[in-house]
Amino acid sequence: MSSTSAKEITDMPYIETTDSTRLFYFDWGTGKPVVFIHGWAVGAESWEYQLKYFADQGFRAIAADTRGCGRSDDPGRNYDFDTLAEDLAAVLNKLDLTDVTLVTHSMGAGTASRYLSKYGSDRVEKAVFIAPTTPFLLKTEDNPNGIDKANFDQGLAALMDDRPHYLNAMAPAFFGADLPGFALSPEIQQWLVGLAQRASMQTSVGLYRTNTETDLRADVGRVTVPTHIIHADHDYGNPLELSSAATQRLIPGSTLTVYENAGHGLIITHKDRINREILEFILPSGMVSSPGVTMS
């Protein structure tokens, strides 16, 4: 049984959404706001290396747990992008944030894209998409280069049969453990797996389906803020051409950097480089000045 007291729960920072779901959030530092949106089920703690860095750099670094993840409420429903975008709107509105840079990882890019499509960019100045799963992963007649539904169904069945085993089995590919230069400790890999295990089965399945089945091409095409995209050349489950390259083509003026010998978990495996690249993009004299692709 948890030893957390009722007073400690009350004192924690929460934002209540329109359907009365409470979202836990980190809010570190002061200054220009940078809002981090995590991927799938890992929760806001997955951003701890970015939160600390940007708070120390004089920014207000904010990250909320998606519903059902981390310390947020688990309503057992409403894991679609419309609701996730509405939850993001609640965070931005209730904290009264403006001139925001949205920084997303993986599925978080879908939430940001749907938010910008539905609510506009009045509060948002820039966006960074890291290993985004936008715009549409599923193979269909009009998306012939997508991933067969049978592959996603197989993954979902494995997740529902033995979730701890599924998460641990996926970790090496997520981090790019077979790539040259890989140097993560087993402990940090297990830490991220543990973050994902905190989400319930209902949340994990709901977010999985949303991420793999939602067509966000129209939403991504409505993103008008300056956007920088970062992807890895060995992102096995989220191929560059299907996701980041397609996303860049849909967002006018967006830029793309491709990291060589890297996997999906860039915010951890390449955290120092990621932090510097985000910082340079946010600053007025940012490194990204014209559309294009940089291989590095």
- Side-chain-side CA neighbours of 9 within 13 Å: the count stands at 9
User: What mean pLDDT comes out for the span 247-276?
Assistant: 98
Do the beta carbons of residue 204 and residue 229 sit within 8 Å? no
pLDDT, mean over the chain: 93
The residue among 2 and 78 whose pLDDT is bigger is 78
Is residue 101 predicted with pLDDT exceeding 80? yes
291: pLDDT confidence band, cut at 50, 70 and 90?
Answer: very low
* Tens-place pLDDT, residues 29-77: 999 999 999 999 999 999 999 999 999 999 999 999 999 999 999 999 9
**pLDDT recorded at residue 285:** 64
* Tens-place pLDDT, residues 153-201: 999 999 999 999 999 999 999 999 999 999 999 999 999 999 999 999 9
132 Cβ neighbours under 8 A, 6+ residues apart: 104, 106, 108, 109, 110, 229, 231, 243, 244, 247
Q: Which amino acid is at 58?
A: G
pTM: 0.93
Domains of the chain, first to last: 6-295 (3.40.50.1820)
CB neighbour class for 27 (10 Å; exposed up to 12, middle 13-18, buried from 19):
middle
Active site residues: 106, 235, 264
**pLDDT recorded at residue 284:** 75
The CA–CA distances, whole Å, from 139 to 72, 113, 205, 250 equal 33, 20, 19, 18
